Amino acid sequence: MSASVFLKEFTPAELEMWVKQEGEPAYRARQLLRWLYSQNAEDFQVMTDLSKDFRSWLVENARISLVEREKILTDVDGTRKLLLRLQDGERIESVLIDEGERLTLCLSSQVGCAYGCRFCLTGQAGFRRDLTAGEIVDQICAARREITAGERLTNLVFMGMGEPLANLEQVIKALEIITSDRGLNFSTRKITLSTVGLIPEMLTLSSLFPIKLAVSLHAADNETRSRVMPINKRYPLEELLEACRDLELPRRNRITFEYLLLGGVNDSQEAARKLTKILRGLRAKINLISFNEYPGAKFKAPSPSSVEEFQKILQDKHFTATLRQSRGAGIMAACGQLSHCH
């Protein structure tokens, strides 16, 4: 057997099957899982409750890590960006966002992105490939190595590089490992997935995993949305919002709609009023984000007064509308700035 069996590619059930096929008892899989995920071990030799023979066999036939930290950048606001190198030399970025009582990891699901949203740097770099379930999971293990003794990773957001629902099969497998009590043991309530609005995949995911969905809206009419998000030509607003009404949401859960305010494009009072109309009747909350400028960007940040007016119009219509403070802009780690090119 070649040395390329990556243990984090297995769900707990698959790992148990693999261990049994190799003639070992099932409890060996439980021990391995504990070392991989509770202890975050990187080396078989530390797994002292496994027999020496089995450890030697694992050294020959299995691998633990799929991602390797190449460098880490820290912004003045405490945001940490990890540049991770994959086995084939491709690179991805994950971001640790410290918000006091919450420590959130922003995960990538693809190398690059195929959806080409006009405002997003990741999309401009084009699409390279999907990440495997193991590569998604191993980002979490890598991030946990960067946090200090007093810190604990509390939340996960699939908002890094790539469109998670375009890699649905691997994302679902990763979620199995992430939420399993024999895996990383995260509560589904602490996981949010952001999508440009791939309707069939949204419906599939919501029926399998009751995680929180964040839908990238960024415009209140089809003409503007198609201009900034080409996906709108395939799934226009009416169809997208209809699908949002059909989602199987846990009680008390609302859909988050993300709205990136682009100066002079979608930040007018009229756009805000349109937004209140199209979202009427939906269990919605709205995350407003001011555009983060970067060198060569085609858009401008909105003025503070237009952001304030926009938010007020939504709140006057009884929508929960929060202004998300972008973090990590100093290290190109803010929303829409991730790219594997630097």
* pLDDT reported for residue 36: 98
Separation between Cα atoms, residue 95 and residue 83, nearest integer Å:
9
Tens of pLDDT, residues 169-181: 999 999 999 999 9
* pLDDT reported for residue 340: 44
Tell me, which fold does domain 67-331 have in CATH? TIM Barrel (3.20.20)
Is the alpha carbon torsion for 305, 308, 312, 314 positive or negative?
Answer: positive
Separation between Cα atoms, residue 322 and residue 342, nearest integer Å:
31
Q: In this structure, are residues 8 and 16 in contact, taking their beta carbons and an 8 Å threshold?
A: no
Tens of pLDDT, residues 153-208: 999 999 999 999 999 999 999 999 999 999 999 999 999 999 999 999 999 999 99
The structural domains of the chain, with segments of one domain joined by +, span 5-63, 67-331
Separation between Cα atoms, residue 190 and residue 154, nearest integer Å:
7
Stated pTM of the model: 0.94
| Position 1 confidence tier, pLDDT thresholds 50, 70, 90 | very low
Task: Give the three-state DSSP class for 309.
Answer: helix
Tens of pLDDT, residues 246-292: 887 777 789 999 999 999 999 999 999 999 999 999 999 999 999 98
Active site residues: 93, 335
| Domain at 5-63: CATH architecture | Orthogonal Bundle (1.10)
Separation between Cα atoms, residue 265 and residue 218, nearest integer Å:
10
